Structure 1
Amino acid sequence: MIELNVAPAIWNHWPNLQLGIVKVMGFDNEKRSATTAEHLRSVQEEVARQVQEKTISELPEVAFWREAYRLFGAKPKRYPCSLENLLQRIKREQFPRAINPLVDIYNIISLQYRVPVGGEDLAKIQGDLCLRFATENEPSIHLLGESEARAPKPGEVIYSDDVGAVCRRWNWKEAERTKLTATTTDAILVVESLQEASLLPCLEALVALVSEYCGGEIESSLLTEPVLSES
């Protein structure tokens, strides 16, 4: 089974980082698409009312990510994290369309709990996943919605496998290669938080929605900074 590892340098910079990991095997990512689309629309409309008078960039849950992006050299205004991008679109009532049940579910959770959430097709991952800083010689990758492949910049935070990056600038934009599609049957979802409050309720809610709408065999875990024993 593919694992998600976090480089020690990431923990050194963000000791409060929490990653909620959900692996789903043998599920149907198409059957309940109409239902998840309706659920997503309802959540989008509710959140649009909540943030209508808010400045998205100043929300505490967004500000944490803006500071993290600045730390690794990405300008948040140009490269908003996935949560900020989603909330900005919702505020303008440019609601992201429903895509497939698993993507709809992680957008629902992202909006309800105000955390970045993403996912990858496990069948398209080579080796394990790693959250780390990019090096000088990263392979070019084709990101969703972009016309040409580009390499991550040295020092930016990326998720990668043995082939290369699967998501650039932490959670800014993912690769075309590993995206979730209607034919995906095995997947990994990752919820991220830089705040001290436990991510466990959010993780449990994600598992419940995946179980309700997709089925399959589900395994979840909460990854936090490892505690090193004293020698």
Structure 2
Amino acid sequence: MTGIDLQGILSGAFVAPEVFALRPDYRALLIAVDGIRPAAGDAASEALLARAEESARAAVADAPVEEEPHVAAWREAYRAFGAKPQRTRNSLEALLRRAAGDGLPRVNRLTDVYNAVCVLHRLPLGGEDLSAYQGSPRLTRATGAEPFDTVAGGEDVVEHPLPGEVIWGDEAGVTCRMWNWRQGRRTRLTDETASALFILDALDPMTDEQLLAAADDLLAHLREADPDLVVAQRLIAAG
């Protein structure tokens, strides 16, 4: 265990009113976990990835990815703050397309599990290394001055979001651009991650029951490998 104050971090998390003004139906379910034992992918995570890929292929056989209800809702949300969803795809759409095409990446057990749950439950789901956080997560609209550390052309660079862009961040800068499009380098999961923050994003028509079911499924798979996992979670919604 790392001894991170999971509940304290989540208690300080917030979604700014200007984000809810864009989408009053938005909900963020934050799950903080500690006690992860880093591990490579195994038979259980491989089976989960395969099930997610099969689910994605069945979905695109019936209708284009962009017509999947939650994908369509996220495309509308992106347009609301000026993003072009055909060029900057929300993480759900990007993973669904990848799962239905060449297949999901095989990274490590932790990453493989949350990618599969994202596809199976049809919601954007981000995972980040909690030990790299400075303060609590917050979802705001950018001024354009916030630093975002990423990689471009094989080099580490610092970029900045567009003014008005919806961003996740902490006291040190941006952790994810365009709501759930691209995660930063500083807080990315690694093969040594022992504590993690998962962010599950929901818009209508996804219900709270479906959102919580995705969270339960994620935790069930994580606990298969780490039954003594310490967990804290918090649902943030308008009002």
What is the TM-score normalised by the length of structure 1?
Answer: 0.90
Counterpart residue identity of residue 182, structure 2: K
In structure 2, do the counterparts of structure 1 residues 136 and 31 end up closer, same or farther at CA, with 3 Å as the change threshold?
Answer: closer
Structure 1 residue 203 corresponds to structure 2 residue 211: no
Aligned residue number for residue 136 of structure 2? 128
Note the C-alpha offset of 1:97: 1.5
For 1:156 and 1:56, the matched residues in 2 are separated by 24
For 1:145 and 1:131, the matched residues in 2 are separated by 28
> Which of 206, 218, 224 in structure 1 is aligned with 2:231?
218
For 1:43 and 1:54, the matched residues in 2 are separated by 17
For 2:86 and 2:109, the matched residues in 1 are separated by 30
For 1:34 and 1:144, the matched residues in 2 are separated by 34
Which consecutive residues of structure 1, in runs of 5 or more, have no partner in the other structure?
Answer: 227-231
Aligned residue number for residue 33 of structure 2? 24
Paired residues for 1:7-86 under 5 Å: 7-30=16-39, 33-86=42-95
Deviation readout 1:85-109 (Å, 9 max, x if unpaired): 1111223x21121212221111111
> Which of 122, 126, 141 in structure 2 is aligned with 1:114?
122
For 1:138 and 1:154, the matched residues in 2 are separated by 10
* Identity across matched positions, percent: 35
2:70 and 2:123 in contact (8 A); partners too? yes
In structure 2, do the counterparts of structure 1 residues 145 and 169 end up closer, same or farther at CA, with 3 Å as the change threshold?
Answer: farther
- RMSD (Å), alpha carbons: 1.9
Note the C-alpha offset of 1:50: 2.8
> Which of 194, 199, 209 in structure 1 is aligned with 2:203?
194
2:148 and 2:184 in contact (8 A); partners too? no
The runs of at least 4 aligned residues of structure 1 exceeding 6 Å deviation read none
What is the TM-score normalised by the length of structure 2?
Answer: 0.87
Secondary structure, aligned partner of 2:158? coil
Counterpart residue identity of residue 108, structure 2: N
Note the C-alpha offset of 1:221: 2.8
1:101 and 1:214 in contact (8 A); partners too? no
Secondary structure, aligned partner of 1:119? strand
Note the C-alpha offset of 1:145: 8.0
Note the C-alpha offset of 1:167: 0.4
For 1:176 and 1:37, the matched residues in 2 are separated by 25
Deviation readout 1:174-194 (Å, 9 max, x if unpaired): 011111112100111011111
In structure 2, do the counterparts of structure 1 residues 59 and 145 end up closer, same or farther at CA, with 3 Å as the change threshold?
Answer: farther
Deviation readout 1:61-120 (Å, 9 max, x if unpaired): 1110001101111100000000111111223x2112121222111111111111000011
For 1:201 and 1:224, the matched residues in 2 are separated by 17
Counterpart residue identity of residue 168, structure 2: Y
Counterpart residue identity of residue 57, structure 1: E
Note the C-alpha offset of 1:143: 4.9
Aligned residue number for residue 179 of structure 1? 188
1:200 and 1:222 in contact (8 A); partners too? no
Which consecutive residues of structure 2, in runs of 5 or more, have no partner in the other structure?
Answer: none
